[in-house]
Every structure is written in C-alpha cells, then in structure tokens.
A and B are shown apart, each in its own frame.
Chain A
Amino acid sequence: MSVDAATVRKIASLARIAMTEGDVEAMVPELNNIIGWIEQLGEVDTAGIEPMASVIPGHQRLRADVVTDGNVRDKVLANAPQAEHGFFAVPKVIE
C-alpha cells in the first residue's frame, strides 16, 4: 500500500495536526518506508488466531458504584490554558 500526499493530508487532518505542504512532502517517503516495512506481517499465517488486546488474561474489573473522588474543580482547572467561571474556555464554536 503506497501512501501519497493526499493520504498524508487526510491522516494529518484525522490526527488534528496542522501540516504545511513541505511537512506533507517530507512525511510521504517516511511513512512509505515504515509502512512498507510493517507490511511484512502479511506473510505470517494467522488463520484461527484470536487478536491479543491485553497480555493479562481474564476479565475487566468492576468497582462498587460509589463516589470515590471529586469536588476538585480548581485542581482540574489548575493547568488549563484558559479557564473562566469554573469552566474550560475555548474559542467560540457557534456562529
């Protein structure tokens, strides 16, 4: 699978990373090199093999449905680039 500039622009947009045309041009051969290399996995016979998502066999743990944390609004906001009136502030999203 070969990656072209249009694909890099699309992936960058999905990843929310702004790229100049120069960045895109530089990224094309880099991604092609790496993706060409990882494609060797195609030669491994994986018929009937379950995908491994975690090395820990077993279950997802559940905890009791009780409040264990919270009421730390100011701590949560302490590192926000912009916080106003106890909220995170972002550029206007409604015209």
Chain B
Amino acid sequence: MTATHITDLGIAGIRDGFRAGTFSAREVADAFNAAVAGADALNAFIVKTPDHAVAAADAADKARADGAELGALAGVPLGIKDLFCTEGYQTTAASGMLGGFVPTYESTVTAKLFGAGAGMLGKLNLDQFAMGSSNETSAFGNVISPWRRNDGGNAPLAPGGSSGGSSAVVAARIAPGATGTDTGGSIRQPAAFTGISGIKPTYGRCSRWGTVAFASSLDQAGAMARDVRDCAIMLEAMSGYDAKDSTSVDVSVPRWEAGLSADLKGKKVGIPKEYRVDGMPADIEALWQQGIAWMKDAGAEIVEVSLPHTKYALPTYYIIAPAEASSNLARYDGVRYGLRDLPDGANLQDMYAATRAAGFGAEVKRRIMIGTYVLSAGFYDAYYTKAQKVRALIARDFEQAWEKCDVLLTPTAPSAAFALGEKSADPLAMYLNDVFTVPSSLAGLPAMSVPGGLDPQGLPLGLQIIGKPFDEQGVLNASLAIEQRAGFTARPGKWW
C-alpha cells in the first residue's frame, strides 16, 4: 500500500488494516509524518512530534509481532489540540503566556489515548486559550483551512475555531483523527466548516484534568475525525471516570462503535423552531430541510419542539464563560510557569500586570475584562447570577423537549466558512457564529456535527444532532443516518 493510500484511510481503516497485517504501524506513522511535514502552509501545528508517532507505532508493531493484546487505537497516529498537557512536549494553548511551557505530567485524555496505543503527530494550533471561532486569535498565527471557494479567488478561509488546527488536519488527510475541546461549539463549528465529523460528549464524560482550563463548567473534550464510526472509536478511548477531575461523572463508557445503527425506527427527532434565525442563508435552511427528509427516510418521526430561551443563550454564555475564564486565567502570574515580564524596578504587583499585558492576546484580555466586570462588587447579581438563572431556564427548555423527542436536528453554524479577517474586527459578529452550538453547551448535552453537503461556493455545511444527557449512542446513530444518506465524499484539493 502506498503512503497516499494509507493517509486516505480513517481511524477504523488504519486499525483494521494494521490488525490484518496489510501494513505496519510504522508505515502508517511514516506516511502521516510525511504528510504533516509537507503541510506547513496550513500552519496547523505549533509543534510536530514525529518521534512520538514513531515510538507508538514501533510499540504497536512489536505487540502485534509478539501476539500481545492490541489497544483499541494501536497503530493509529492522532493530532492533539495544544490545549492538552503532554508530558515532555510543549503545551501553549496557542498563547505567548505559555511559550516554552513543557508539562511534567500527561492530561488524562491524552494518557488514555496513548494507553490505547495511539501515537501523537503533533500539537495542533487553536484560538488562544480556545477563545475564538476562526483560529485568528492564536499567538502562533492563523490556521488556513485546506478548503477554498470555487470562485478561483483562493481567499484564505477560516477552519473554524477554536479547534481549527484539528479540523484542518483531518480535512486535509494529514491526521486520521484529532482531539478537540468544546466550550461553546469549538468542536462542532470547525467540523462543519471543514466537512468532517466532530462530537462533544455529555459534560463530565471526558476528564478535564490536564487540559488548559477556559470555562470549567462548560469545557469538554471530544473527538474530530472523518466519519461517525471514527468519532465513536476515538471517543470511547477518551472517555471515562477520573478521580482527578471533580466534575468527572462516574458512569461506565458504553461500546459506542458496537452500538452503531442508522435505523431510526421508533425514534422521534425534534426540530426546534427557534433555530430558524433571521438572516440565515437559504442554503442552510435547504440543508436543514434535507436533513429532516433524511431522518424520515431512516424511519424517524419528526416533531416540532420549542426551546423558548434560545435567543438568550449567547448573551448568557458571554457572561458565564468570561466570568469563569477570568477566574481560571488568574493563575498566569509570572511566578509558577510561563512568561514573566519584570520591568526594571517593578514590584510584585507591577510584575503581575506587566506579565499579563505581555502574555495574553487581545481577545483573551477582552474576555478577562468582561469576566472581571460581571463578577465585580455591585454587578455580580445583575450579570453573573442572572446569567446562571437563565442558564437554568435554557437547560429546562431541553428537559421539556426530551418529553417529546429523542434527539434534536439543527444546522451546526449559521454560515459556511468565512474568509480570514472577514469577522475579526467585530467581536460580536464573531460571537454570533456559535448561535446553534452554545445552547447545548450551556445544558451540558452531547452534540455532534456531520457534513451534509456543499454550498454553491463549494464549501461544506454541517448538520447538528443534540441528544439527551449520556445518550451519545443516540447522537451517533442519528448522525450515522445522516452520513449514510448525505454520501459526503467531497474533500479539499491539495494546494499546500
């Protein structure tokens, strides 16, 4: 098998081919390492780690030769979002604040993936501290989407954010899968922008231990890969109770891959009427209608549901997430790790302020400022407590919807990928990109984006399935029903 054929395979294809002896794990690692080395134009990696991928591959080959039991991801190399601490490999959250930070410990999620036999191709670029929807806030430069519009203009497009490096490498066939994290849509929106699949599990499924914190009541790790099966395989390996995370939920991890079924007979799919927003492009509405037809074709019954507090989800999110971020990011003080800026004659307080001014990017500062403001004396109840109450109402909307349906079907994002620079001057316009993903994040629900088709400019559009707490299986299965009917095979032409 040639290297190109190997990089055309997804996670299941590599796992199965390796087990069958079609190729060695080392051949796989070499093929993907070469693809990584040849893709600098995408700026998707902050650090490349070919040695890690090769070591894991050699271990997998030896285990296979010895007849030892093989891990679920033996022979599979992955990209790791640079928000997961990796022992001995620089971890920056794409911020100058953590330039040169080399963790002395391994995040639980990466430890689980590596324990299952996966290797690491490198640390993937992202929006700084995962704050952004276009990957334009990274201190290491923008990630360029492998996709281009079909107008011949070659305008560089956003791969989505914050997991933009992850979406770019999977779409470009530079990694068969990648970890993402999702606080308000950071797995699903980039997956939609790049024509791949991405799942955020129920809050508490994946341990947050060792993942650089943004907004702790929302942050969840998840899987990004080419299809639903690959996401199921990867998520199974990442999930599970961890005593080191106080919000990790102590429930067993189902065998999602074995449970995959695209037969939706007896299932009810809810269509939330409030997701029909003003100014939504006709292509998105048409894809949504197509998705409804696919659900019916898979045997599901369609029911209209109401989530009346949907329009308040974004402003709620932009109080809660910055509030939690301002608290979490207080740890960057120039004392224990990361950057220190110590002007001549500065005292300790001056050092804190200078370090944080130098280390944080503009969007991170903006959110810390908002968070500090809404938590400050006199404003706490008016903003933060109020937002927590509205969050309760948003969660209650979903609980009431579950009395009528099993999953919800919505578009993932209100537009296809936009060009870099198109929205970065207006923070509010950028925030509105998360309008369909934020509500389920606030409610802690599992949700997935799968590609549904292309818009007239030749860019991918995604459909989102939202499920009940801990019903990742229902989410995966409804997504699989879409995947089988969409028959999405488009991929970006190689220009990098």
Contacts and interface: CB of A to CB of B under 8 A. Distances in A.
Contacts of B261: none
A5 interface: no
Contact of A38 (B246, B383, B443): B383
B326 A15 contact: yes
A85 interface: no
A80 B337 contact: yes
Contact of A18 (B247, B348, B354): B354
A8 B368 CA distance: 12
A17 interface: yes
B104 A15 contact: no
Contacts of A55: 203-204, 217, 395, 442-444, 469
Interface in B375-424: 376, 379, 382-383, 385-393, 395
Contact of A31 (B346, B357, B369): B369
A53 B342 contact: no
B428 A33 contact: yes
Interface residues of A, number: 51
Contacts of A40: 312, 315
A63 to B, nearest CB: 7
Contact of B217 (A53, A63, A80): A53
Contacts of B181: none
B281 interface: no
Interface string A77-95: 0111110000010111100
Contact of A78 (B102, B350, B379, B442): B102
B390 A41 contact: yes
Contact of A15 (B334, B339, B372): B372
Contacts of A30: 366, 427
A14 B315 contact: no
B356 A17 contact: yes
B386 A46 contact: yes
B296 interface: no
A16 B349 contact: yes
B338 A93 contact: no
A17 B353 contact: yes
B356 A41 contact: no
B338 A81 contact: yes
B360 interface: yes
A81 B335 CA distance: 6
Given A17-B369, A90-B351, A93-B348, A41 B318 contact: no
A51 B312 contact: no
Given A50-B389, A51-B389, A75-B104, A18 B356 contact: yes
Interface string A40-57: 111010100111111110
B370 interface: yes
Given A16-B356, A31-B373, A49-B393, 16 more contacts: A11-B369, A15-B369, A33-B428, A34-B370, A35-B373, A44-B309, A46-B390, A51-B391, A52-B391, A53-B217, A55-B204, A75-B105, A79-B336, A80-B335, A81-B339, A91-B342
Interface of B: 100-105, 203-204, 217, 243, 246-247, 249, 309, 312, 315-316, 318-319, 326, 330, 333-340, 342, 346-354, 356-357, 360, 365-366, 368-370, 372-374, 376, 379, 382-383, 385-393, 395, 427-428, 442-444, 469
